[in-house]
Chain A
Amino acid sequence: MKVSYYPGCSLSGTGKEYGESTVAALKILGTEAVELNDWSCCGASSAHSAGKEFAVELAARNLLIAQDAGLDDFVIPCSACFQRTKVAEYALKNHPESYPDLHYKGGLDVQDLLSFVYNKIGLEAIKKVVKKELNGLKAVAYYGCQSLRHPEVTGAKNYENPTQMDEILKVLGADVLTWSYKTDCCGGSLGISQPDILRTLVGKLYDKALEVGAECIVTCCPLCMANLDMYQDAISKKFNKQYNMPVFYFTELIALAAGEKDAVKWFKSHVADSVKLLKEKKLI
């Protein structure tokens, strides 16, 4: 299967290992990710702050490139990019009169990567590629906000208690724990201008994950990853604790369980040490 693939700015920057592990995991699962030609920034949270129609037009540019690419599935790993693209699609479908120059025919299936892997590839197919189960890895799945909300736009069904990532991780052999903070906000793009809010929200996520006995957090969003992975020193300082919480992308773990050699390289690029935990569990 071939799908159109929009990496977005994060996946060529701070979320580089998400981009690489996405392409690798999809390849393992028999899907070729074809990068959109000359894609541009989706506008993220800054564009909608400045103007609703402006934000739609920025994200619509990529939607129209995907339409021209001619593949049925349009897959977006970054939750923020996914949400912005979905908002644009929703606007072009429901209010075409406001965007007379943008001709969106529809028929494109715009999906976040997690939903694509779960719905179109499926647990059975994932089970088949597992070579080395992630036995003993105690993990919580963290979904964040933007691939789910608002459900009318994203099409998410289980938006208060999503289980797709939990189910995938279980198939990989991980010990997936239940917690109540799957969809609580990490602070998103407030991280840079309001570091204290980021530290408070993320600190709470660590505490809640630790409370249920998790040794790591698994995410599907590069912004969540950046917020959860990069500021552990500052968060520890703020709360006078010593956090060292490995954070993974679910794609990295799919590839790891499938025996992908490159996986170690991705783990080494995390800011919080995730190699130590995987070595302890004899997974690398």
Chain B
Amino acid sequence: MTETTENITAEKKAVFPQEKMENSGPVPENQTQVNTESYQLNNLTPFAESIIQVSGEKLNNCYQCGKCTAGCPITYAMDILPHHIIKMVQLGMEEKVLTSKTIWLCAACETCGTRCPNEIMLSPIMDALRQRALNSKYKNKIGEKATAVFHREFLSSIKSHGRVYELMMMAMSIMKSGNLINFILKFEWVSYLKLLFAVLPKGKMSLFPHNIKKKKEFKNIFKKLNNAQKV
């Protein structure tokens, strides 16, 4: 142990004497006993309950410390901050949450989940909200249609071939994104076309799909998807 850590430990002992902490005796009757359970929200809204069930994340444990939001790389583009999403789910604010951009902009980087003091992972919660949004009466008010379309096109590409057919998947995602007009008018296509001519000769993007042998076995897994997610 170095001298400084020794000093710190000594200081700590003075402030929090171990013995007293461990042998503090029975809790006086008039004192409320604090345990982690009391931080939990008891009356869960049905919306919150279903999101907890689908995501497997105990978002009722969230005490709004904001650590998830502090480390999230995408907050600048989000319309609702990650910890606010959690609170709004707790409160059952279904429409606001399901039509938000945030649930689609989460990059699933898991920075939040890694740091949350209550072991809540936000990315599975965002996933559950995406599924719920596509299955709800708000399905025509999706906050970020382009991203929803991308995921759909990705899945439909792998369903057909067993592996992703990058070229077609990218083309279809752009075509169906709902931003096609902007894509054309803002000359976005110029940079994509340049890129295409840069990578094609290098053999980095195949012009044709690669099909796996056991396509049927692979396709069967897609039966697990519920109706709104079917590709």
A interface residues with partner B (beta carbon < 8 Å): 9, 12-17, 38-41, 43-54, 57-58, 61, 145-146, 149-151, 159-160, 183-185, 187-190, 192-197, 200-201, 230-231, 233-234, 237, 268-269, 271
Contacts and interface: CB of A to CB of B under 8 A. Distances in A.
Q: How large is the interface on B (under 10, 10 to 19, 20 to 34, 35 or more residues)?
A: 35 or more
A12 B212 contact: no
28 contacts: A13-B164, A38-B213, A41-B163, A46-B151, A48-B108, A49-B131, A50-B131, A51-B224, A52-B56, A61-B217, A145-B111, A149-B110, A150-B114, A185-B109, A190-B105, A192-B174, A193-B144, A193-B146, A193-B173, A193-B177, A194-B144, A196-B77, A197-B74, A200-B77, A230-B195, A231-B195, A233-B194, A271-B195
A74 B111 CA distance: 26
Interface in B147-182: 147, 149-152, 154-155, 158, 162-164, 166, 170, 173-174, 177
A48 B124 contact: yes
A47 to B, nearest CB: 7
B121 interface: yes
A40 B154 contact: no
A50 B144 contact: no
Contacts of A197: 74, 77, 105, 107
B224 A53 contact: yes
B217 to A, nearest CB: 8
Contact of B107 (A51, A57, A58, A190): A190
A150 B110 contact: yes
B55 interface: yes
Contacts of A39: 212
A187 B107 CA distance: 6
A187 B72 CA distance: 11
Nearest to A51: B225
B214 A188 contact: no
Nearest to A37: B213
A233 B191 contact: yes
Interface stretch (B9-17, B19-27, B197-205): B197-205
B95 interface: no
Contact residues of B: prevailing secondary structure: helix
A9 B163 contact: yes
Given A14-B205, A193-B150, A195-B188, A185 B221 contact: no
B188 A41 contact: no
A41 B212 CA distance: 10
B111 A185 contact: yes
B226 interface: yes
Contacts of B110: 145-146, 149-150
Contact of A54 (B166, B202, B224): B224
A149 B166 contact: no
Given A12-B210, A50-B151, A50-B155, A45 B108 contact: yes
A13 B198 contact: no
B65 interface: no
B204 A185 contact: no
B124 A52 contact: yes
Given A48-B124, A150-B114, A61 B218 contact: yes
Contacts of B195: 230-231, 271
B130 interface: yes
Contact of A230 (B76, B199, B210, B214): B199
A118 B177 CA distance: 42
A50 B225 contact: yes
B224 A13 contact: no
Contact of A269 (B146, B147, B203, B226): B203
Contact of A271 (B77, B152, B173, B198): B198
A106 to B, nearest CB: 21
Contact of A40 (B131, B151, B166, B212): B212
A12 B117 CA distance: 40
Contacts of B131: 49-51
Q: Nearest 9 A-B pairs (CB), nearest first?
A: A149-B110, A193-B150, A46-B154, A185-B109, A46-B151, A193-B146, A41-B158, A193-B147, A269-B202
B188 A51 contact: no
Max chain B Cβ within 10 angstroms of own Cβ: one of A13, A38, A61, A234: A13
Contact of B204 (A50, A146, A188, A269): A269
Contacts of B107: 145, 185, 187-190, 197
B127 interface: yes
B54 interface: yes
Contact of B221 (A14, A61, A268): A61
B34 to A, nearest CB: 27
A52 B163 contact: no
